[in-house]
Amino acid sequence: MKTAIVTGATSGIGRWIAGGLAQAGYRVTLVGRDSARGEAAQKWVTARAPGSETRLRLIDLSSLAATRAFAEEVLAEGRPLDCLVNNAGAFLGTRQVTAEGHERVLATNHLSPFVLTEALLPVLRTSGAARVVNVGSSTADRGVIDPDNLELTRGWNRVRAYRQSKIALLMVSLDTAQRLKGSGISVNVVHPGLVATGLVRERGVTGLAWRLLGNFALTEEKGAETPLFACIAPELEGKTGLYLKRSKAAAANPVTRDAALMARVVAATERLIGT
């Protein structure tokens, strides 16, 4: 039986990705951080895919120590991992710093996926044909990144923090894809579309704007289609370093063509995670 890990599987797009993988016959580990939401999501997935094997792990992914501890647990089981979906994401209204000293949006959207992917490489390798799917955002199609200010100690605002975290995720994912060529592990980034989810949790003008946008947005089920395509589609076998929108390769932010900048973003990420 193939195995998959889906982060942020307790709501929104992630729940549908977990459901789709369970229906496709994967043994899915749902990663969430709240037991009630987690158990509800696990029940929901089981109802969609009767007889499927699922399990739930509760982890605050804004903590790199908790991310590493989870990876250790997976490594200790020694099973090959066929699919890792780094889907959990945060959009916050205020600048918050985690107990480990990291800006929370960057930690959740970029640092934790990088730490998890790197830590799980041994079990991804033993799969023979593993897929890492990182859920990015078209917000990152434009805009710049400052590798010397990834945590936005200067000039934080909610959109900039979200965008820069997703640009960093994109750049480092493409770099990882390049580094892992020939290893049997593919790394692709997907934009799910504008999807009516609870991603923006604050009230006020931003929350209202998000809820209004929801009228024009995809359903969560539709939003899971491109991520699931990246996980499962046979035509993507061995394809790596892609940025996918609507299940097709798309042009990524031009900053990804600046090799020197890519190297600086990778180095800044490694510094932040302490490697």
Residue 114 corresponds to which amino acid? F
Catalytic residue among 162, 210, 229, 243: 162
Q: Which stretch binds ligand NAP (CB under 6 A): 9-17, 69-77, 153-161, 176-184?
A: 9-17
Could you give phi then psi for residue 256, rounded to 5 degrees? Answer: -75, -10
> In terms of CB distance, is 125 or 160 closer to ligand NAP?
160
CA 72, 74, 76 angle in degrees (round to 5)?
65
Measured from the CB of residue 27, what is the shortest distance to ligand NAP in angstroms?
20
Q: For residue 148, what is the DSSP state?
A: G
> In terms of CB distance, is 192 or 241 closer to ligand NAP?
192
If one asks whether residue 40 binds ligand NAP (CB under 6 A), the answer comes out as no
Look at strands 3-7 and 248-249 and give their pairing: unpaired
Q: Which stretch binds ligand NAP (CB under 6 A): 11-19, 46-54, 143-151, 171-179?
A: 11-19
> Long-range contacts of range 149-157, CB-CB < 8 Å, 24 or more positions apart?
150/103, 150/106, 150/110, 150/265, 150/268, 150/269, 150/272, 151/102, 151/103, 151/106, 151/272, 152/95, 152/103, 152/106, 153/103, 156/95, 156/103
Rounded Cα distance between 114 and 33, Å, is 18
- The number of residues that bind ligand NAP (CB under 6 A) is 27
Q: Which stretch binds ligand NAP (CB under 6 A): 171-179, 190-198, 240-248, 265-273?
A: 190-198
48-67: contacts with ligand NAP (CB under 6 A): 60-62
Measured from the CB of residue 41, what is the shortest distance to ligand NAP in angstroms?
8
If one asks whether residue 250 binds ligand NAP (CB under 6 A), the answer comes out as no
Q: Which of 2, 5, 6, 14 binds ligand NAP (CB under 6 A)?
A: 14
Give me the half-sphere count of Cα atoms (radius 13 Å) on the Cβ side of residue 35: 0
Q: For residue 218, what is the DSSP state?
A: B
N residues, the chain = 275
The question of whether 243 is a catalytic residue gets the answer: no
Contact map string, positions 76 to 115, toward ligand NAP, x by CB under 6 A? -----------xxxx-----------------x-------
126-155: contacts with ligand NAP (CB under 6 A): 135, 137
Rounded Cα distance between 52 and 242, Å, is 30
Catalytic residues: 162
Kindly list the residues in this chain that would bind ligand NAP in the complex (CB under 6 A): 8, 10-14, 32-34, 37, 60-62, 87-90, 108, 135, 137, 191-192, 194-195, 197-199
